[in-house]
Amino acid sequence: MNVLIVVGHPVFREVLQEIFFDRFPSTAVECVANGDSAIRLIQSQGFTHLVLDLQLADIDGFVIADAAINLQPTIRIIVLTSCCNNYSVFRTERRCIKGFVDTQFATASAIRQAIESVAADGVYFSPSFLRLKAERRMDPRSFDKILSDREMSVLALVATPFSDREIANELSISPETVEKHRFNMLRKLNLRTTTELMRFARLHGIACSPEHLRKPTSTSLLPSSVANEGVFYAEAMRHVRTDNHTVQIRFERRKPASKVIVYSKNERMGEDRLRDLIANDHEAESRVQRAELVSRKSDNSKTNLQVGV
């Protein structure tokens, strides 16, 4: 068994490590306190189990879970959180997560039980998780039955709170589209004002916390094997700041071949300029130096440069 523990609190990390060593003496355990370090280890090592704190200081814990699942599909994940709410339960259900521990009420024996159950190819979910899951599934008006994924993304930012323009920039859509989503959510939820919409989001735990919005550091989410193996990771992107413009370099896998998509929110930034940015950015250049241009397309909001790998 090869285990990665990603927990911010040092005492909690030590307790979890001791549980593994006590119950599984031959286990190899790596411990880190932040998401960037976790991503680097997941890229470079093969882990069988991941114990993950959802409330890290630098990255939303679900981003790490997504990276682990995409890079190592068979990994078995236990998440820990003191914020067990409808949205965290919903997000956990949508992923290949085998354990959920509500640390607000969990005892040391419950944490041990979760580790032992998942290690034995079983599952463990705290009573609070199971209660919220059952209530949401029985509720015909639950948010996941009413709102689309895009609407929930907008709602999380509405409750932050962000303006329509800020939300548009964050999601790479137009302010008019944000306004349309806001109107549709008010109608679907039978609410009247944005204040009521914000209250609804916070009640269900949908509001973004600051770490949800914080971008990963330049190298943390770039799979080292992108160029050779085409590893796809949904949130794997690099933000390059230049000339007052933010350019995203996103690595995706689209069968049959992988590609790198580089795009700028500045519609006037042309193909040559984007190529210059890649050439001057060594992390990106190392992955696209043997690539050839596939296509370039523009719309009213961004310039795209797609490069096959």
| pLDDT at residue 144 is higher than 50 | yes
Q: What residues form DSSP beta bridges with 13?
A: none
Identify the burial level of 243 via C-beta atoms within 10 angstroms of its C-beta, where 0-12 means exposed, 13-18 middle and 19 or more buried: exposed
pLDDT band at 171, cuts 50/70/90? confident
Residue range 2-137, CATH number = 3.40.50.2300
Equal CATH topology for 2-137 and 143-212: no
Return the DSSP state at 60. B
Give the residue, 279 or 7, on which the prediction is more confident. Answer: 7
- Which residues in 97-131 are b (16+ Cβ under 10 Å) and which e? bbbbbbbeebeeebbbbbbebbbeeeebbbebbee
Q: How far apart are CA 16 and CA 279, in angstroms?
A: 44
pLDDT reported for residue 209 = 58
pLDDT digits (tens, 9 = 90+) for 181-222: 999 999 999 999 999 999 999 888 887 655 455 555 433 443
pLDDT digits (tens, 9 = 90+) for 226-252: 322 222 222 333 333 333 444 444 443
In this prediction, residues 125-151 reach a mean pLDDT of 93
In this prediction, residues 269-273 reach a mean pLDDT of 49
Return the DSSP state at 119. H
| pLDDT at residue 6 is higher than 70 | yes
Domain ranges for the chain = 2-137, 143-212, 226-308
pLDDT reported for residue 60 = 86
Identity of residue 298: S
In this prediction, residues 45-63 reach a mean pLDDT of 90
Give the residue, 301 or 28, on which the prediction is more confident. Answer: 28
Task: Give the Å distances, CA to CA, from 132 to 89, 127, 137, 139.
Answer: 7, 9, 9, 11
Q: How far apart are CA 49 and CA 46, in angstroms?
A: 9
| pLDDT at residue 37 is higher than 70 | yes
Query: Which one of 122-126, 266-270, 297-301 scores highest in mean pLDDT?
Result: 122-126
Strand order in the sheet with 99-102: 28-32, 2-6, 49-53, 76-81, 99-102, 124-125
Using an 8 Å Cβ cutoff, are 290 and 271 in contact? no
Percent of the chain with pLDDT over 90: 44
pLDDT reported for residue 88 = 92
Kindly report which listed range (81-90, 207-216, 267-276) carries the lowest average pLDDT score: 267-276
In this prediction, residues 141-150 reach a mean pLDDT of 91
pLDDT reported for residue 120 = 94
pLDDT reported for residue 162 = 86
pLDDT band at 89, cuts 50/70/90? very high
pLDDT reported for residue 234 = 29
Q: What residues form DSSP beta bridges with 261?
A: 250, 306
What integer best gives the mean pLDDT of the chain? 75
pLDDT reported for residue 59 = 84
pLDDT reported for residue 170 = 84
pLDDT reported for residue 214 = 52
Q: Is the pTM of this model over 0.75?
A: no
Task: Give the Å distances, CA to CA, from 145 to 130, 152, 197.
Answer: 18, 11, 16
Task: Give the Å distances, CA to CA, from 143 to 60, 204, 246.
Answer: 21, 9, 33
Q: CB-based contacts of 91: which residues, under 8 Å, 6+ apart?
A: 62
CATH tag for 143-212 (out of 2.160.10.10, 1.10.357.10, 1.10.10.10, 1.10.240.10)? 1.10.10.10
Q: CB-based contacts of 109: which residues, under 8 Å, 6+ apart?
A: none
